[in-house]
Amino acid sequence: MACRALVALIGHPQHGWTLFDTGYAPRMLEATRRLPWRLYRLATPLRIRPEQAAVRQLAQIGLAPADIRRVIISHFHADHVAGLRDFPDVPVIASAEAFVSIAGRRGLNALRRAHIPALMPDDMAARAVALPAFTGPPLPHLGPTHDLFGDGSLLLVNLPGHARGQIGALLQTESGPVLLAADGAWTSRAIREQRPPARLTYFFVDDARAVGRTLANLGAFAAARPDVRIVPCHCPEVVI
């Protein structure tokens, strides 16, 4: 099936523009041209056009990289961070666990976690903002939250299993609440039918059992909060 790699642009009246993940970018092709990184492309064939990069799409609506105040990274798999270098000097927010999970990884040890170090900005250490432990009011079945802006408009939540320290975000939007589920599930159908990913994919995941628990928790959350639109990052059903 054809999967997307979605990026969310979030506008806040006081805190400006935020990106949730950065998706693919053309540099991904160069970064995966040689072994061992080419194995990533063999496992997940890529179709990337320059105009699909987040930075190019933002330009189409009149936004420059400097207009982005912060980037939230759900987790550091390559399909979520390949566009990071297009946003220089912007703080990069992620869970402390996620930052630790990629620290010092090189070669096959990095590829094992779908992490490609060449995609990381050279000044990543200076721009990294590690989140504290989440202790805010829990979401049904998903657990404690972290209120990023302190006004309830953007609540971060842990979605363990797929990648160490993976997080999602519950947004309060003009058209209703939206949960950006990252790779807590790859498709909406997976949540509806409780269909786990193919076992072959467990080679890349952090905790296979937690993948199943998070999928079940997303299904229970969907039943408890039918008002929330759940958006998995790779779902072909998502209408933009």
Report whether pLDDT(200) > 90: no
Q: pLDDT band for position 198 (50/70/90)?
A: confident
Domain locations along the chain: 8-232
Q: pLDDT band for position 72 (50/70/90)?
A: very high
- Integer angstrom CA distances of residue 163 from 14, 91, 180, 208: 31, 21, 15, 10
Report whether pLDDT(226) > 90: yes
Q: pLDDT band for position 46 (50/70/90)?
A: confident
pLDDT value at residue 240: 65
Mean pLDDT of 83-102: 97
**Which of 129, 119, 45 has its CA nearest to residue 81?**
119
Q: For 3-7, 10-14, 177-181, which range has the lowest pLDDT when averaged over its residues? A: 3-7
How far is 155 from 144, CA to CA, in rounded Å?
9
Report whether pLDDT(125) > 80: yes
In CATH, 8-232 is 3.60.15.10: yes
Beta bridge partners of 172: 177
Q: What is the 3-state secondary structure (H, E, C) of 197-215?
A: CCHHHHHCCCCHHHHHHHH
* Higher-pLDDT residue of 71, 236: 71
pLDDT value at residue 4: 86
* Higher-pLDDT residue of 177, 1: 177
* CB atoms closer than 10 angstroms to residue 233: 28
Mean pLDDT of 166-190: 97
Mean pLDDT of 180-193: 96
